Structure 1
């Protein structure tokens, strides 16, 4: 299985300059001393994490480990308690709107309006992100995810898998440089999973980066360049996937996740 290898509002190809050994590696994500609590209960504890631009990171951990909270902070949907968050070199404390233009987010919640049609949803989000030729871009993406024929149906009339396909079109509409994916295969059948892999291939082939969560360890290995495991709100393990077997990952996961 193949591995999935800064867009603008006008949806131009990603322009990521090649670097030599003397050039500092550009980071898609930089987290330093990140902490988050809910009702005085720590959820994230002193997270330090980097994702070089163009790479893919799988975030693993048991339910309640802090994965979704971390993704929501990265997506600008929740604020960190303390620490710093930089996305594509932008400080989330001061440049949140610009950060949101760099991010495509796919999660359990589709972030679509049920009373609007499929196309109306994409046109609405296209206006928010000032996407040029929004209708043409939206229809192209709906065709790509197999939802072109349902463009005039309301979201509430679709199946869970169909809604997830539209959510993917929404996330890709503004050609983001960074994809944040919280179990991106939720609600999808085998064809849907193959579509997700193809979309990720296309994104990373253009130089895009991604961070995703999954409970499927085999998929985590095949889709990522690096594995990070959270437990109790801390990073307890990380390893490059090129030198990691499935058996080794299973063993390490069982050792560090309680």
Structure 2
């Protein structure tokens, strides 16, 4: 299958500290990659570079065959991002936020697209309410809808379950199932059970480096669990 994401020798330094250190992997179209690792492992920094919000200090990233450093605008048209920041305007309604985002990318029939996605995340009844009136979990659901407005080929999630109650978690799981076909997902997660449930590829990071990468069905569960426990405990260099 064609590559959705190709990461080649990527490094990111902040002063003398290497947040990401020589990471390489190839992810095929339609894959779901979960990135695990302790705090400070470089997971979010790597996701930031995949989303073009940050540029590698060294190395190259290709998204759908496009150089993310040289053609970042083209890459942004092909991706959706859910990060720790909602990227929503609190004084606009949920619908207005999605319509504004959709217009930036020339989404056809943008209002209906916005309403349908808000329905999919269980917030159609609140579509005309200002985002500032929403709970943390509701804001997260609007962020997920926003990330899908431009019908992206690649979707990047940084701890998407953060702030979601059990009902919202089920809504999110159902949405991922509905839109998974022909899309590639990358998710950063601390939740080993949920992350493994969704993934078909796994990347384990520690101290900025890739400790383990591969298809989930090719990795021995006991070995992966052992590596995960070592990494979380700081035992893996």
> What is the TM-score of this pair, normalised by structure 2?
0.94
Structure 2 counterpart of 1:83: 59
Contact residue 4 and residue 64 of structure 2 kept, 8 A: yes
Q: Which residue, 59, 63, 71 being the options, matches 2:47?
A: 71
Give a deviation string over 1:76-133, Cα, whole Å, max 9, x none.
Answer: 1111111101000001122111110111111221110111111111111011111000
Structure 2 counterpart of 1:231: 206
Give a deviation string over 1:166-203, Cα, whole Å, max 9, x none.
Answer: 00110011110111010111111111111221122122
CA distance in 2, matches of 1:225, 1:130: 32
Deviation at 1:60, TM superposition (A): 0.4
Q: SS of the residue aligned with 1:143?
A: helix
CA distance in 2, matches of 1:138, 1:188: 21
Q: SS of the residue aligned with 1:131?
A: coil
Deviation at 1:210, TM superposition (A): 0.5
Deviation at 1:247, TM superposition (A): 4.8
Q: SS of the residue aligned with 1:115?
A: coil
Superposition CA RMSD, Å: 1.3
CA distance in 2, matches of 1:26, 1:217: 28
CA distance in 2, matches of 1:92, 1:240: 24
Contact residue 237 and residue 256 of structure 1 kept, 8 A: no
Q: SS of the residue aligned with 1:43?
A: strand
CA distance in 2, matches of 1:238, 1:32: 14
Q: Which residue, 36, 46, 50 being the options, matches 1:60?
A: 36
Contact residue 25 and residue 213 of structure 2 kept, 8 A: no
Structure 2 counterpart of 1:201: 177
Stretches of structure 1 that go unaligned for 5 or more consecutive residues are 1-24
Structure 2 counterpart of 1:171: 147
Deviation at 1:36, TM superposition (A): 0.4
1:140 aligned onto 2:110: no
Structure 2 counterpart of 1:11: none
Contact residue 38 and residue 231 of structure 2 kept, 8 A: no
Pairing 1:104-119 to 2, within 5 Å after superposition: 104-119=80-95
CA distance in 2, matches of 1:211, 1:157: 30
Alignment length (residue pairs): 233
> What is the TM-score of this pair, normalised by structure 1?
0.87
1:121 aligned onto 2:91: no
CA distance in 1, matches of 2:27, 2:179: 16
CA distance in 2, matches of 1:255, 1:41: 22
Q: Which residue, 155, 170, 189 being the options, matches 2:131?
A: 155
Deviation at 1:33, TM superposition (A): 0.8
Contact residue 52 and residue 69 of structure 2 kept, 8 A: no
Deviation at 1:39, TM superposition (A): 2.2
